[in-house]
Structure 1
Amino acid sequence: MATRHDSIGVKQVIPYEWMRKTAHFVLAGMNAKQIRQELHAALASTGTQVRSGERSAWTRTFLVNNLMAIWPSPAAELTPFRNRALHALRDHPDQEIAIHWAMISAAYPFWFNTARQTGRLLNLQSQTTQAQIVSRLKEQYGDRQTVSRYARFVVRSFVDWGVLEDTTATGRYRKTDAIAVIDRDSTSLLLHAALLATLEGKAPLNLLLGNPAFFPFRLPVTGGEALVESTGCLKLVRHGLDDELLTLAE
């Protein structure tokens, strides 16, 4: 599991449209080989319409590899979570952006941590810059050139997903309106993703609900018992009268 947490991994902008397409292929019953072939063919035929600028065979491969590791072929320890997320997509299609956010956060903790640093900065100020986000990420991942490059891909993905928007200044962003997460399943899925994205696999419930990595969303105030009910994946540990610790079930 440490490899997933230590890796940066996101090697291209992950367009929201292609996250949705990939999940729909899985829901349609296609196997991993079929999905990979379909993604390559669809991206090649779409060409420059996928994103502005030329998309070479190499960059297509990076994007396909990222998409495959999220929905069709996640890490083995994430398969039960992926299955939960697929059920949530079927049952709550109006919450799909939160469900996709949960899945990519679990598959790529670097996405989650970039969101967390972005959210922290936006809690302090109305706008943030790519340089500020990268500076904070380097405190966690070290001063590697890949941190700057891949963080840019994640931040541009946030813009593509509509949770950040460009300002008139290059490299400066502001948050868009928060998306309400209205059902218990989607809320539980996001918190489950946060635990999977952190090495400890546990956190106080109140801190999870207010985690800045969920800056695009407005989560409901809810008790821990309602969140762990029927999931079989999460466990609630009580400390005192009011403190609740949410942890991954063994």
Structure 2
Amino acid sequence: MSARHHKIGIKHVIRLEWMDKTLDMMLAGLSAKEIRNELDIFLSDKKQSGGTGERDTQAYKKAVTNLMLTWCTPEKALIPFRDDVLAIAKTTPISERIPLHWAMISAAYPFWFGVAKQIGRLLNLQSQITKKQIIQRLKEEYGDRETISRFSRYVIRSFVAWDILEDASVKGNYLQKKKIPTDQKQVAVLAESTLLSTIESSHALKNIMDSSSLFAFNISPISGDYLLKKQSAN
């Protein structure tokens, strides 16, 4: 168990194109210092909505921190996993990277995983869900803190920015977009990320694949033997 399992961490909307920018720099071999400097410049005029304009310095630096701790300087225990995901990213088209980004940010910030889990559970019950319902469930798990309400909104808006959820006609209501397809390598990454995102040390394969935290994905079939071979190769 790590301290990351207990912290909220996500203090800014994280847009998909920012994740791609960070990953591209990692794949290009830039150092962590170079990537941070580039992100400081790149995000200095980027708004959470996707537009540009004058920004408060402290606001965008929170996003820089999230991006760095996800891809560039994760917790030491996550570095082997990050390196495995980087190897897959080298041959993954940019349009198919969402499972890789999701796996990394869930492992680095389990609160992202926790929000996804509650959203997935709600979507199993109804086609349209509300921010109030999501936050209520999160408070039951993490405690009734003001930070839960504020930071969960950043994660929810990130899901919308990633085209995983969409705003319904009523404000504060959300619908699920089309599930994202996955291949075996991506499913294996998502499965390992699920283990890294939870405090429990082990789960049955079926429970991992059926996890509500993976609601955004169309999970392709995968065998336990495939996962074992992958772990042996590592």
**Which residue of the partner structure matches residue 109 of structure 2?**
108
**Which residue of the partner structure matches residue 143 of structure 2?**
142
Structure 2 CA distance, aligned partners of 1:104 and 1:216? 14
Deviations 1:205-234 (A, max 9, x none): 111111111111010222211122133489
Deviations 1:128-149 (A, max 9, x none): 1111011111111100100000
Q: Secondary structure at the match of 1:77?
A: helix
Q: Secondary structure at the match of 1:174?
A: strand
Please say if residues 110 and 197 of structure 2, whose CA atoms lie closer than 8 Å, have aligned partners that are also in contact. yes
**Which residue of the partner structure matches residue 28 of structure 2?**
28
Structure 1 CA distance, aligned partners of 2:124 and 2:52? 31
Higher relative contact order (CA 8 A, sep 6+): 2
Partner AA of 1:95 in structure 2? E
CA drift of 1:107 comes to 0.5
**Which residue of the partner structure matches residue 215 of structure 2?**
215
**Where in structure 1 do 4 or more consecutive aligned residues deviate above 6 Å?**
none
In structure 2, the CA distance between the partners of 1:62 and 1:132, relative to structure 1 (3 Å rule), is: same
Deviations 1:167-215 (A, max 9, x none): 111110000011111x221110000000000011311111111111111
Structure 2 CA distance, aligned partners of 1:214 and 1:143? 25
In structure 2, the CA distance between the partners of 1:215 and 1:126, relative to structure 1 (3 Å rule), is: same
Please say if residues 46 and 53 of structure 2, whose CA atoms lie closer than 8 Å, have aligned partners that are also in contact. no
Partner AA of 1:81 in structure 2? F
Please say if residues 45 and 54 of structure 2, whose CA atoms lie closer than 8 Å, have aligned partners that are also in contact. no
User: For residues 235-246 of structure 1, what are the structure 2 equivalents within 5 Å?
Assistant: none
Structure 2 CA distance, aligned partners of 1:2 and 1:47? 32
Structure 2 CA distance, aligned partners of 1:47 and 1:189? 30
**Which residue of the partner structure matches residue 4 of structure 1?**
4
CA drift of 1:47 comes to 6.2
Structure 2 CA distance, aligned partners of 1:50 and 1:174? 20
In structure 2, the CA distance between the partners of 1:204 and 1:26, relative to structure 1 (3 Å rule), is: same
Stretches of structure 1 that go unaligned for 5 or more consecutive residues are: 235-250
TM-score, with length taken from structure 1: 0.88
Q: Does 1:95 align with 2:99?
A: no
Partner AA of 1:176 in structure 2? K
In structure 2, the CA distance between the partners of 1:104 and 1:47, relative to structure 1 (3 Å rule), is: closer
User: For residues 122-201 of structure 1, what are the structure 2 equivalents within 5 Å?
Assistant: 122-181=123-182, 183-201=183-201
**Which residue of the partner structure matches residue 246 of structure 1?**
none
Partner AA of 1:175 in structure 2? Q
Partner AA of 1:122 in structure 2? L
**Which residue of the partner structure matches residue 240 of structure 1?**
none
CA drift of 1:55 comes to 2.9
Please say if residues 114 and 154 of structure 1, whose CA atoms lie closer than 8 Å, have aligned partners that are also in contact. yes
CA drift of 1:72 comes to 0.6
**Which residue of the partner structure matches residue 205 of structure 1?**
205
TM-score, with length taken from structure 2: 0.94
Structure 1 CA distance, aligned partners of 2:232 and 2:113? 23
Aligned length: 233
Please say if residues 184 and 227 of structure 1, whose CA atoms lie closer than 8 Å, have aligned partners that are also in contact. no
Please say if residues 117 and 213 of structure 1, whose CA atoms lie closer than 8 Å, have aligned partners that are also in contact. yes
Partner AA of 1:214 in structure 2? L
Partner AA of 2:191 in structure 1? L
Partner AA of 1:132 in structure 2? Q
Please say if residues 166 and 176 of structure 2, whose CA atoms lie closer than 8 Å, have aligned partners that are also in contact. yes
Structure 1 CA distance, aligned partners of 2:118 and 2:106? 13
